[in-house]
């Protein structure tokens, strides 16, 4: 994996620093755009005075099935880190179902075999068509196939979304789904929703930010311990009336009849976790598969046949049984740099820590070279982020500045979570504050990079804070009769900025203007060029050419 020294580009004298402003896209509108509404003198100055372009960060440009699919952190950081576009989970699973490949795999057959020996088949996962972590069509295909193959009993554990889809859209999914199940149910096919809850309250924690979420999910899904309701519809309506929270924050619920939970998970059952994306699937998968397990008190571990939709971690091989092969992301920029002796530093706060390490490195949790790489995680607050929109951006900047000044690292990367995590709350004012907090940090960071003779690449993995109001099909902000907007919590389809900041009066390179539709996958080759290397042949082209 030796990289050729470039004859066209000499290495920058100082470090190259990639700054990912998570969830900061460029919207064509002003209305509802917290990025534009924020007072960000530093970012404005950088965008006005340095070479800048827009990069595609959604749809096919990042390996999603269609250009109607918004981007997300996984596919965005995969593309940035790997310098190429790989067909992603959403696409691979849909193809595997369409071709029938999924049903032929060992994992599916073992799951079905367990269920046919008298166990219940449980499906657990994010219940929407957001296509970021899962898709409801995949769930339906598996339920129908299970029935066809003679499975007698199926239970569903549904995590309500409201983060990749409308913030209060849960019943738009649940009601038609109940009707769909009514149509499938028969004397020898018993299928029902057994438990559920909001995705930010139970089960789908990531990067060990808050294991208590997973514990709550475990108690609800596995032990059937939690507040009981007759149906998911009733649970959603009741909690909405009582708490006034949006879907992602609805508490967990257990569906019960005569006080008996409909679908506890017990010895002999099979469990399919049907999310294809890994970050929020790893902790629950560990709880189901690790013999010794410390993060919370699980009680007796039921002996189940557990399968993930994909293998979520290529290093730890978690989970061991999975339905669809994950994208084979190889030879990432991080691996090339490690194998060519380039020292690297990666930093974020907990919520995005895995994005700049695990996703960046092609869904591998380990390092390529312990001696050459430093990964730093600043612990995130465990609070609703609209209450702390600055999150840990100042602490991240403190550490990053120290790392740059140490002179130890030639390539550094950082993810600032603010635009995204606060964008997901749907709170416009908080998102504006998030952007302003971020701008203060850029004003501290950029001069330090330039003093060190370095270059900063400012970009993002997808949009979010750039669209805080729901849009209609034509792309206009929707307003009700009183002129009120509806909060939008999901990512956007907008492109993201790419700003190339250097202190040189006359850099020996310039941005290319001949690439038809540059995207996130063009960043890696650019970084390698700035470090004085030619990118591997099959990497997507660099964004720079000699001046
Ligand atoms: O919070 C998450 O899991 C996703 C949205 O589903 O956001 P991101 O891709 O930015 O991590
Ligand atoms: Mn993101
Ligand atoms: Mn997000």
Q: Is residue 126 part of a domain?
A: yes
Q: What is the CATH number of the domain that holds 505?
A: 3.40.720.10
| Same domain assignment for residues 82 and 132 | no
- Give rounded-to-5 percent helix, strand, coil for the chain: 35, 20, 45
Question: b vs e for 491-524, b when ≥16 Cβ sit within 10 Å of the residue's Cβ?
Answer: bbbbbbbbbbbbbeeebebebeeeeeebbbbbbb
Do 505 and 465 have their domain in common? Answer: yes
Query: Is residue 467 domain-shared with residue 498, that is, in the same domain?
Result: yes
Question: For ligand 1, is residue 248 a contact (CB within 6 Å)?
Answer: no
Of 356, 206, 358, nearest to 281 by C-alpha is 206
What is the CA(464)–ligand 2 centre distance, in A?
A: 8
- Please tell me the predicted confidence (pLDDT) of residue 505: 87
Last residue of a domain, one of 293, 324, 355: 324
Q: Whose CA is nearest to atom 3 of ligand 1?
A: 280
336 within some domain:
yes
Q: Does residue 157 sit in the same domain as residue 300?
A: yes
Cα–Cα nearest to 166, from 246, 241, 276: 246
Asked if residue 131 has its Cβ within 6 Å of ligand 1, the reply is: no
> Would you say residue 67 lies in a domain?
yes
Residue 72 CA, closest ligand 1 atom number? 9
Closest CA to 20 of 404, 394, 350, 456: 456
Q: 30 and 151 share a domain? A: no
In a domain, 438, yes or no: yes
Place of tokens 């998030």: 434
Specify the ligand 1 atom closest to the Cα of 76.
9
| 125 shares its domain with 163 | yes
User: Both 340 and 472 in a single domain?
Assistant: yes
- Strand pairing report for 544-546 and 509-511: antiparallel
Taking ligand 2, which is a single-atom ion, which protein residues have CB atoms under 5 Å away? 22, 73, 420, 461
Do 123 and 107 lie in one domain? The reply is yes
| Token code pair at residue 210 | 């808050």
Could you give the 3-state DSSP secondary structure of residue 455?
strand
Domain match, 515 and 539 both: yes
CATH number (domain holding residue 265): 3.40.1450.10
CB of 417 within 6 A of ligand 1: the answer is no
Domain finish residue from 281, 305, 324: 324
Which pair of structure tokens corresponds to residue 215? 């514990």
Which of 504, 507, 513 shows the shortest CA–CA distance to 529?
507
Q: Which has the closest alpha carbon to 318: 345, 293, 343, 337?
A: 293
Q: Are residues 424 and 538 in the same domain?
A: yes
pLDDT block averages, 10 residues each, the chain of length 547: 97 98 98 98 98 98 97 98 98 98 98 97 98 98 98 98 98 98 98 98 98 98 98 98 98 98 98 98 98 96 98 96 97 98 98 98 96 98 97 99 98 98 98 98 98 98 98 92 96 98 94 96 98 98 97
Q: Say what the pTM is.
A: 0.97
Indicate whether residue 128 lines ligand 1 (CB < 6 A): no
Distance 44 CA to ligand 1 centre (A): 26
Contacts of 236 by beta carbon, 8 Å cutoff, 6+ apart: 160, 170, 171, 174, 247, 250
Residue 294 covered by a domain: yes
| Cα 524 from chain centre | 20
Range of the domain at 246: 90-324
In the listed set 309, 324, 339, which residue is the last one of a domain according to the structure? 324
Residue 72 Cβ < 6 Å to ligand 1? yes
Residue 230 Cα to ligand 3 middle (Å):
33
Question: Which residue shows structure tokens 């084979």?
Answer: 328
**Does residue 248 belong to any structural domain of this protein?**
yes
Specify if 1 maps to a domain: no
103 and 247 inside one domain: yes
Q: How far is the CA of 435 from the centre of ligand 2 (A)?
A: 15
Q: What is the ipTM of this complex?
A: 0.98
How far lies 252's CA from each of 149, 188, 220, 228, 280, in Å? 31, 29, 7, 9, 17
73 is catalytic: yes
Which pLDDT score is estimated for 448?
98
For residue 42, is it within any domain?
yes
Into how many domains does the chain fold? Answer: 2
What is the model's pLDDT at position 517? 96
Q: Residues 189, 240: one domain?
A: yes
> What is the signed CA dihedral for 323, 328, 332, 335, rounded to 10 degrees?
80
Set 6, 7, 27, 73: catalytic member: 73
């Amino acid at each position: 994996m030796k990289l050729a020294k470039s004859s066209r580009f000499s290495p920058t004298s100082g470090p190259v620093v990639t700054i990912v402003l998570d969830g900061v896209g460029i919207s064509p509108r002003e209305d509802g755009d917290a990025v534009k509404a924020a007072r960000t003198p530093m970012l404005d100055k950088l965008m006005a005075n340095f070479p800048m372009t827009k990069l595609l960060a959604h749809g096919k440009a990042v390996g999603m099935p269609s250009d109607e699919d918004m981007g997300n952190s996984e596919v965005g950081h995969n593309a940035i880190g790997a310098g190429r576009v790989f067909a992603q989970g959403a696409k691979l699973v849909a193809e595997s179902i369409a071709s029938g490949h999924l049903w032929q795999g060992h994992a599916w057959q073992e799951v079905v075999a367990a269920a046919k020996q008298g166990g219940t088949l449980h499906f657990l996962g994010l219940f929407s068509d957001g296509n970021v972590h899962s898709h409801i069509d995949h769930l339906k295909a598996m339920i129908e196939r299970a029935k066809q193959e003679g499975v007698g009993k199926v239970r569903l554990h549904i995590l309500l979304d409201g983060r990749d889809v409308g913030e209060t859209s849960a019943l738009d999914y649940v009601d038609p789904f109940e009707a769909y199940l009514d149509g499938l149910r028969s004397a020898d096919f018993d299928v029902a929703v057994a438990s559920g809850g909001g995705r930010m309250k139970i089960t789908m924690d990531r990067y060990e930010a808050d294991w208590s979420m997973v514990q709550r999910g475990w108690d609800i899904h596995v032990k059937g311990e939690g507040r009981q309701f007759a149906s998911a519809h009733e649970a959603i309506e009741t909690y909405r009336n009582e708490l006034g929270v949006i879907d992602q924050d609805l508490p967990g619920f257990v569906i019960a009849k005569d006080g008996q939970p409909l679908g506890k998970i017990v010895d002999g059952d099979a469990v399919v976790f049907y999310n294809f994306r890994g970050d929020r699937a790893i902790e629950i998968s560990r709880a189901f598969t690790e013999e010794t397990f410390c993060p919370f008190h699980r009680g007796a571990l039921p002996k189940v046949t557990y399968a993930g939709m994909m293998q979520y971690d290529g290093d730890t091989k978690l989970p061991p049984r999975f339905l669809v092969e994950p994208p084979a992301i190889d030879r990432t920029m991080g691996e090339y740099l490690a194998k060519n002796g380039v020292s690297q530093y990666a930093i974020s706060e907990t919520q995005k820590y895995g994005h700049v390490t695990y996703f960046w490195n092609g869904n591998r949790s380990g390092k390529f070279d312990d001696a050459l790489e430093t990964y730093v995680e600043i612990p995130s607050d465990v609070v609703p982020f609209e209450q702390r929109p600055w999150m840990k951006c100042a602490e991240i900047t403190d550490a990053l500045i120290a790392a740059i000044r140490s002179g130890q690292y030639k390539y550094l990367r950082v993810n600032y979570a603010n635009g995204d995590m606060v964008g997901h709350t749907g709170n416009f004012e908080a998102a504006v504050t998030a952007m302003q907090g971020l701008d203060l940090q850029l004003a501290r960071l950029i001069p330090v990079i330039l003093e060190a003779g370095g270059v900063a690449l400012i970009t993002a993995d997808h949009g979010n804070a750039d669209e805080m109001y729901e849009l209609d099909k034509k792309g206009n902000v929707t307003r009700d009769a009183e002129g009120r907007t509806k909060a939008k919590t999901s990512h956007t389809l907008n492109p993201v900025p790419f700003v190339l900041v250097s202190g040189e009066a006359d850099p020996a390179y310039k941005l290319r203007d001949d690439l038809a539709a540059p995207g996130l996958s063009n960043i890696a080759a650019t970084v390698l060029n700035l470090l004085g290397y030619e990118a591997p042949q099959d990497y997507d082209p660099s964004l720079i050419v000699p001046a």
